[in-house]
Amino acid sequence: MRRALLAITGLAASTTALVAFKGAPNASPVAQDLPAGQATATPGGAAPGGTSGPAPSAGPAGSPTARASATASPTPGARTSTSSGGTSTAAPRTTTTAPRTTAAAPTATTRKVTGPVISNEYGNVQVQITLSGTKIVNAVALELPDGGQSSLRSDKVDAAYSGTSGQVVQRQSANLDTVSGATYTSNSYKQSLQAAIDQAR
Amino acid sequence: MTAPPARPGLRRVEQIMGTAISLDLADDLPPATLHELAEETFRWLREVDARFSTYSDDSEVCRFGRGELLLSEASVDLRRVLERCADLWDVTDGFFDAYATGRLDPSGYVKGWSAQVASDRLVAAGAANHCLNAGGDVRVRGLSSAGGPWRIGVRHPWDPASTCLVLTGTDLAVATSGVYERGHHVVDPRRGEPAKGLRSVTVVGSDLGLADAYATAAVAMGIAGIGWLDRLDGHLHAVVTDDGRLLHSTALPVDA
């Protein structure tokens, strides 16, 4: 259970990164301050080849951002929410008025869009987003490789090697501030989420 | 997810260098100051990405690699990185090789180095308590917002949602290199084949650029890397073998 929590928190963090990311087509990195009170952000090592573009000078002007609403958490720290008039220098966050989506704007109907199942070495990942109008208000993973192949593999290893030199590698995680070594699943999560966002347009 | 009560500090995640970089500032500084420190940090990392990216043809590294830029014309940073890569090639018996792919690619050093520089600058700017994680390469200083030493999990090599070791400390550079992330992508530069024997190597020291490069080199060495790590001054390590065993330095700051 703890593992699942850890995974979800990590994924939640990368979701915010990603959704914000989505808004800037020029692949310029998007800044977002999280209030420190929030759950630990385990940075999933994200996609290879995702963002190595010529980032820094990219003019953020006018890139609409789906960001703010994607964090499911209430953001108490005033500076984080751009809508509240605090002038922030991290430009891409400013919610420019017109999202580039269609005319179906103001009616705030809630709908859900489900991304495709993306497979990786460890199993399947599927993401579903909830939209209120054109805003993403939630993103959940319908399927994550919890247990699955990876545990099977690990259990086999445990069974085969207990008692020999070196201790058998075990799972351990409690109250971590961060994690060394990148994660694999986040890439699949990103792809499924991306597809869900594309479908929602 | 319910948010715990607010505590001092600031967190931010950005996608740079093809990976997620997260910053956790734990000092109780005014929000505007924290924001400016974070801006400064990520501005630097984006600048490094633009200059050292091997994916963009007009980066300084690519122009130098193609011979369009003389060493004397290169920036101080690029010259320093090239020097360190040459030193690392020497110290690792050629297992850390910035030319392993056939062209200049110092990425194996640049990510850790740039995060180390960023962390050093934060300390100099008065943010003595922070954690910077650049795609799994971690530099921690001081205490976390919770008031204790930082707790750093080491990713379980067969289970991305789990960790296999917990390290704690107030001044650590922790880099983990493994063959799990993009398949067997660490190549033994001598045989030109993917390295086998070690599934994951974690190196703990005080300089993240070195720790990262040493971890990568040890993976490339295979089983022999364990002995090499043991003889490495000023660094501690943990290793998971391909057959699932965990070995580590006795002095490694492992959480009980």
User: Tens digits of per-residue pLDDT, B30-70?
Assistant: 999 999 999 999 999 999 999 999 888 889 999 999 999 99
Which of A118-127, A173-182, B71-80, B144-153 has the least mean pLDDT? A118-127
State which residue of chain A sits closest to B161, comparing Cα positions: A7
pLDDT for A42 beyond 90: no
Helix (H, G, I), strand (E, B) or coil at A167: strand
CA distances from B153 to A6, A113, A179, A200, B210 (A): 11, 34, 4, 36, 20
Mean pLDDT over the full length of chain B: 89
Average pLDDT over residues A151-175: 50
Average pLDDT over residues B131-151: 94
Tokens of B2: 């319910």
Which of A112-121, B53-62, B113-122 has the least mean pLDDT? A112-121
Closest partner residue to A180 (CB to CB) among B3, B22, B202 is B202
Closest partner residue to A180 (CB to CB) among B138, B159, B182 is B138
pLDDT for B143 beyond 90: yes
Residue, of B181 and B200, whose pLDDT is higher: B200
Residue, of B117 and A135, whose pLDDT is higher: B117
pLDDT number for residue B166: 93
d(CA A137, CA A147): 28
Other Cβ atoms closer than 10 A to A100: 13
Average pLDDT over residues B13-26: 87
pLDDT number for residue A84: 38
CA distances from B21 to A13, A78, B41, B55 (A): 11, 23, 11, 18
Residues listed for chain B: 256
- For an interface test with A, give the residue of B163, B170, B200, B247 to mutate (most A CBs within 10 A): B163
Q: What residues 151-180 of chain B have any CB closer than 8 A to a CB of chain A?
A: 151-167, 174-178, 180
CA distances from B215 to B60, B62, B122, B133 (A): 26, 25, 25, 16
pLDDT number for residue A145: 58
What are the helix (H) ranges across chain B? 31-52, 60-65, 76-91, 107-124, 208-221, 224-230
Average pLDDT over residues B198-221: 94
pLDDT tens profile B120-135: 999 999 999 999 999 8
pLDDT for B76 beyond 90: yes
pLDDT number for residue A40: 38
Is the CB of residue B194 less than 8 Å from the CB of residue B204? no
Distance of CA A127 to the CA centre of its chain: 10
pLDDT number for residue B210: 96
Closest partner residue to B152 (CB to CB) among A36, A177, A184 is A177
pLDDT number for residue B187: 67
Q: Test A178 with B50 for CB contact under 8 angstroms.
A: no
pLDDT for A120 beyond 70: no
Average pLDDT over residues B146-175: 91
Q: What is the pTM of this model?
A: 0.64
pLDDT number for residue A187: 61
Q: Which residues contact B15 (CB under 8 A, 6 or more apart)?
A: A17, A18, A21, A29, A30, A46, A50, A51, B21
State which residue of chain B sits closest to A181, comparing Cα positions: B136
pLDDT tens profile A55-96: 333 333 333 333 333 333 343 433 333 333 333 333 344 444
pLDDT number for residue A38: 41
For B139: left if phi > 0, alpha if psi spans -120 to 50, otherwise beta; the answer is: beta
Number of H helices, E strands in chain B: 6, 12
For A18-78, the three-class secondary structure string (H helix, E strand, C coil) is HHHHHHCCCCCCCCCEEECCCCCCCCCCCCCCCCCCCCCCCCCCCCCCCCHHHCCCCCCCH
% of chain B at pLDDT higher than 90: 64
Q: Among residues A120, A187, A125, which one has the least CA distance to residue B19?
A: A187
pLDDT for B214 beyond 60: yes
To which H or E segment does residue B163 belong?
strand B159-169
pLDDT number for residue B178: 85
Which of A122-136, A177-191, B119-133 has the least mean pLDDT? A177-191
pLDDT for B136 beyond 80: yes
